[in-house]
């Protein structure tokens, strides 16, 4: 698994109004050359967003809309996870099913949206999105 541009930059939100700060996770490429019958699952989970003076935006405020595609010649189809909250408990970004023969190269991405509460103090906020391939 590799990921292009591992930092995710979200758009700005006007102070006071709150609203959606959007971005993309950057293309993740999964290459499965194992053969055999076992598919895979790529999941993600996120920490709370921390900003100035310890202000937090809850991890459950981040949602995504995944997409994925199998390269030509791949033995497996790629299924994007459901759109919705990523949060601290995590969500499926993409997967391939178990089948008699699996494998291939898959490109995965997602648009992400952070719902910023009204009157959140301005400044830089950061969180960690962890992707796990199993």
Residue-wise pLDDT tens digits, 82-112 = 999 999 999 999 999 999 999 999 999 999 9
The reported pTM is 0.93
26 within 8 A of 3, measured Cβ to Cβ: yes
Q: What is the pLDDT of residues 35-92, one digit of tens each?
A: 889 999 999 999 999 999 999 999 999 999 999 999 999 999 999 999 999 999 999 9
Question: What local confidence, expressed as pLDDT, does residue 129 receive?
Answer: 96
Nearest of 94, 106, 77, 104 to residue 134 by alpha carbon: 94
Domain layout of the chain by residue ranges:
2-8+26-117
**10-16 mean pLDDT:** 92
């Amino acid at each position: 698994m590799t990921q292009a541009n591992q930092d995710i930059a979200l758009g700005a939100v006007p102070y006071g109004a709150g609203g959606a700060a959007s971005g993309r996770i950057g293309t993740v490429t999964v290459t499965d050359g194992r053969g055999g019958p076992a598919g895979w699952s790529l999941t993600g989970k996120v920490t709370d967003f921390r900003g100035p003076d310890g202000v937090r935006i809850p991890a459950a405020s981040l949602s995504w809309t995944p997409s994925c595609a199998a390269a030509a010649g791949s033995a497996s189809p790629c299924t994007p996870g459901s759109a919705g909250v990523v949060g601290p408990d995590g969500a499926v970004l993409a997967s391939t099913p178990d089948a008699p023969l699996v494998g291939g190269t898959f490109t995965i991405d997602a648009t992400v949206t952070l719902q910023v509460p009204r009157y959140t103090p301005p400044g830089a906020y950061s969180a960690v999105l962890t992707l796990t391939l199993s």
